[in-house]
Structure 1
Amino acid sequence: MHRIIVHSDLNHCYAQIEEMQDPSLRLVPMAVGGSEEKRNGIILAKNDLARSCGIKTGESLREAYAKCPGLLIIHPDYDAYSYYTEKVKDIYRKYTDRVESFGLDEAWLDLSASQALFTDGIHLAKQIQDEVFEKYGLKVSMGISFNKVFAKLASDLDKDRGFVVIDENHVKERIWPLPVSNLLMVGRHTTLKLEAMGITTIGQLASTPHHILTRRFGKTGMELWQFANGLDQTPVQTTDHGRPVKSVGNSKTLIHDIENFTQLYEVFRVLSESIAARLRRLGRQGSVLSIYLRGNDLHGMVRQVKLSRPTNIAKEILASAFRLATRHFYFDIPLRSVGIAVSGLVSDEIDQLSLFETEQDRPRQKALETVIETIRERYGARSIGSASLLLDKELTDFDPLRMHTIHPVSFYK
């Protein structure tokens, strides 16, 4: 292979780190989960004994206890998870400067150039995997291929063995028979649309004329066709260690499912206020907004929009996020967790005046939000806010500004 791209995945990341810190946890069915009372009481990760009892990531603690009454629940220690996953990535950085994080527990590595300094790429990947285990006792699945999409797919194929190589000569044999849902970017809704077109495998997707996919999915259709045919050439970004913040976001697993846009709007309001405050503290504003919506069927969707101008104003973030949600989500299922992120960050000293509003509107709104933030810092997050938040106080009674909960990417699958 000309390119040696590795996708690494710390399997059951939270549970592994808990067992590393306390080896006795390997002897009992154990899962990492939140508070039963606050309904972030769901399984975030589980060990092998819990998995053998049928425990699944994302199910409620109530469901898990029904399967395994003796299940031990450990409350998450996010500081420890962030610390050790960063230590693992430090090992990666010894061998290449091209390390691109994909959530807390996953990363891509480009070992193409490293072969000249160390050994061939496949053996080097195995060496890195062994070093992580020897130093920290953590098991990392490695998928090796000639692009990022197939490397990620390879790492998911055999979690027990934890080392899968797929080269150009075995794509049709090993990848094309797989369900189309295995492909990166193909979520629940896209899978249903593809199945309605008679496309159920990656091979069928690859064989579909790309103009048909483009007509149905727009630009995304061409990307899916390229991914299925092994034509992804996106580079692994240079190491993100110590780089400036590229995005600011918050997500929340809700205390109860929400079933309408009125409830979603109020949750989005809390998230938007937190994101805007964090952006202002960083002296940044962003021009790209993303939303994440995850149903109670544990499937999620991500949608993104380019804003007309950079912003760090909660009112504008809220309006854009809600507009995006109403355009793409129909509440065919209740929502269990939601998130908003702002990227494309620039200095907040850069401002672009819209022709359709007075020059004073935005500075006035930003000043108002800054005053509200100051009051909350002094008297508490709930000391001042919209009266509509009181309609379902239980739902909106959280403070994302001080609760930077990080979930591994696998949690959202």
Structure 2
Amino acid sequence: MNDSGHRKIIHVDMDAYYASVEQRDNPEYRGKPIAVGGSPEGRGGVVATASYEARKFGVHSAMPSKKAKQLCPDIIFIKPRFDVYKQVSKQIREIFERYTDIIEPLSLDEAYLDVTEDKQNIGSAIEIAKQIREAIRQELNLTASAGISINKFVAKIASDINKPDGMAFIGPSRISAFMENLPVEKFHGVGKVTAEKMRELGLYTGADLKKLSEADMTKHFGKTGKFFYKIVRGIDDRKVQPHREVKSVGAEDTFPFDLTTVEAMHVELDKLAVLVQDRLLKHKLKGRTITLKIKYHDFKQITRSHSFENAVDDYNLILQTSKELLAATEVANKRIRLLGISLSNFGDLLQKVNNEKVSDQLSLF
């Protein structure tokens, strides 16, 4: 810990990552509205991410491609190239590692860094964030936004303040006022349904939330209420965790908009399956049990699992099994706010790794 007693946390978030990589690699897409995802033809696909040119028209992730086409008639749809996105993500990770080994990746394009003690003895988290963003710009021809603070929650919110290609620092003396002025829908973990419930209760800002006791917060929002109670006061003791005990390897994502169509859910499962396979291969693991995690709009959570006789790490099998597990639920009548895929039941294969866990919260958008 540094002399001030505060941690130095950076949250780095790439700007419109998939779309930006496509515009970098294909000059004909630059300056144009593009969407990486499924085509609007036929039954229609879903937008995985959209360029900022498309976002000006209201296009966003998890939106049906047909609707995106209606909002932006000139939008160009591009099939995802996950192998390329994974390779670029590794290059981004290598830049992070110049400054710290305490890195918690949330997805291919997003990570927390603890630079309380940095490898180059720079000492300033702000300067480190500047150097990281400049290296990404110069070496990869991409832009990233960064948030800097003393804990993960505030750093994550800060990274979104000046997007795209921006940076924000929220120091200890500013956290209280910052959280009080923050609209409730900007709180990480507050989706559309929860935000609406808060507004019905007359809760519009952090200052409004701060008026409620912990008991009241728990009464209205369950276990999440305890989290909101602490976070609105700037209290977040979660560590940046690069290493954990291996019990499962997986990825999950909480969506900014509830998923309402099977097509949109399949798009998200595809992204998760890619990440899960990548992490399995990285740690030389295969699992016998595939588990699908679902959290509905009302925060009810279920899991469904399928076990195989032989251990697997195949992307297509992981994806197909996850789709089948999803189909076996009440998927047609529910709105989904989170999906997760994990593999477990490694057996003797666990001896091949050094007690690392790579099941990370995924926040692609």
Partner of residue 215, structure 1? 219
The amino acid across from 2:363 in the alignment is: V
The change in CA–CA distance for 1:220 and 1:54 in structure 2 (over 3 A counts) is: closer
Residue 257 (1) aligns with residue 261 (2): yes
Partner of residue 409, structure 1? 363
For structure 2, the 5+ residue unaligned runs are: 254-259, 310-320, 350-361
- % identical aligned pairs: 28
- TM score, norm. by length of structure 2: 0.72
Residue 235 (1) aligns with residue 239 (2): yes
Offset at residue 15 of structure 1 (A) = 0.7
The amino acid across from 2:237 in the alignment is: Q
Which of 278, 291, 300 does residue 294 from structure 2 map onto? Answer: 291
Partner of residue 341, structure 1? 341
Distance 2:213 2:151 in 1: 22
The change in CA–CA distance for 1:80 and 1:42 in structure 2 (over 3 A counts) is: same
The change in CA–CA distance for 1:136 and 1:39 in structure 2 (over 3 A counts) is: farther
Offset at residue 288 of structure 1 (A) = 8.0
For structure 1, the 5+ residue unaligned runs are: 259-263, 294-299, 351-407
The amino acid across from 1:228 in the alignment is: V
The amino acid across from 1:72 in the alignment is: I
Distance 2:148 2:338 in 1: 32
Partner of residue 15, structure 1? 19
The amino acid across from 1:409 in the alignment is: S
The amino acid across from 1:7 in the alignment is: H
- CA RMSD for the aligned pairs? 4.1
| Secondary structure of 2:293's aligned partner | strand
- TM score, norm. by length of structure 1: 0.64
The change in CA–CA distance for 1:81 and 1:224 in structure 2 (over 3 A counts) is: same
Which of 163, 167, 172 does residue 159 from structure 1 map onto? Answer: 163
Offset at residue 88 of structure 1 (A) = 0.5
Contact (CA 8 Å) 1:26, 1:47: kept in 2 or not? no
Deviations along 1:58-111, one digit per CA (max 9) or x if unpaired, are 333322333333322221111111111121012112211111111222111111
Offset at residue 283 of structure 1 (A) = 5.1
Contact (CA 8 Å) 1:13, 1:105: kept in 2 or not? yes
Moved more, 108-117 or 52-61: 52-61
Distance 1:198 1:120 in 2: 40
Alignment of 1:93-172 (within 5 A): 93-114=97-118, 117-160=121-164, 162-172=166-176
Partner of residue 209, structure 2? 205
Distance 2:76 2:307 in 1: 42
The change in CA–CA distance for 1:72 and 1:214 in structure 2 (over 3 A counts) is: closer
The amino acid across from 1:312 in the alignment is: S
The amino acid across from 2:52 in the alignment is: D
Deviations along 1:356-386, one digit per CA (max 9) or x if unpaired, are xxxxxxxxxxxxxxxxxxxxxxxxxxxxxxx
The change in CA–CA distance for 1:151 and 1:249 in structure 2 (over 3 A counts) is: closer
The change in CA–CA distance for 1:248 and 1:144 in structure 2 (over 3 A counts) is: closer
| Secondary structure of 1:312's aligned partner | strand
Deviations along 1:176-235, one digit per CA (max 9) or x if unpaired, are 112112112222333233333322212222331112212333432211111111111100
Offset at residue 143 of structure 1 (A) = 0.6
Is the helix fraction higher in 1 or 2? 1
Aligned residues: 317
